[in-house]
Amino acid sequence: MINANFDASIKIGKGMGFGLVFRNHKGEVLASATRLEDQCYSPQIAEYLAFKWSIQMANQLLLQNVFFETDCREIANAILQDCRDMTTHIDTVALVHTKKIGNIVADSLA
């Protein structure tokens, strides 16, 4: 199982930042990435876009059995079904809410 922590940040007047880290079952970092966007949306939309980007990155890396974690409860509850259609190469997909401390690396990257 691969653990993927993702997060988004909003910088009013500057745009959004996304952070992502993939870890193996030992907690070792397999890959990490950041992305900047010129547009600026609500925090929930930003988290949603960060999740979709995380799935795209997992697909590009041909990762399987990915466990996605976010510190945004609204996203964890609202978007899983919508994004299942994007998981073309991922056998198992899970999305759970985690406390802020559990998402600190992705938060720092965003």
In terms of pTM, does the model score above 0.75?
no
Specify the number of domains making up the chain: 1
SS3 11: strand
| Tokens linked to 31 | 């890959």
**25, burial (CB in 10 Å: exposed 0-12, middle 13-18, buried 19+):** exposed
pLDDT at residue 73 greater than cutoff 90: no
The answer to whether 60 and 19 are in contact (CB under 8 A) is: no
Q: What is the CATH number of the domain that holds 51?
A: 3.30.420.10
Q: What is the pLDDT of residues 23-32, one digit of tens each?
A: 999 999 999 9
- Model confidence pLDDT, tens digit, residues 41-72: 888 889 889 988 999 999 999 998 888 888 87
* H or E element, residue 69: strand 66-70
Task: Provide the residue range defining the domain that includes 54.
Answer: 2-109
Contact 49, 77 (CB under 8 A): no
Amino acid at 75: I
pLDDT greater than 80 at residue 89: no
Dump strand ranges (E) for the chain. 2-11, 15-23, 29-37, 66-70, 93-97
In whole numbers, what is the pLDDT of the chain averaged over residues?
82
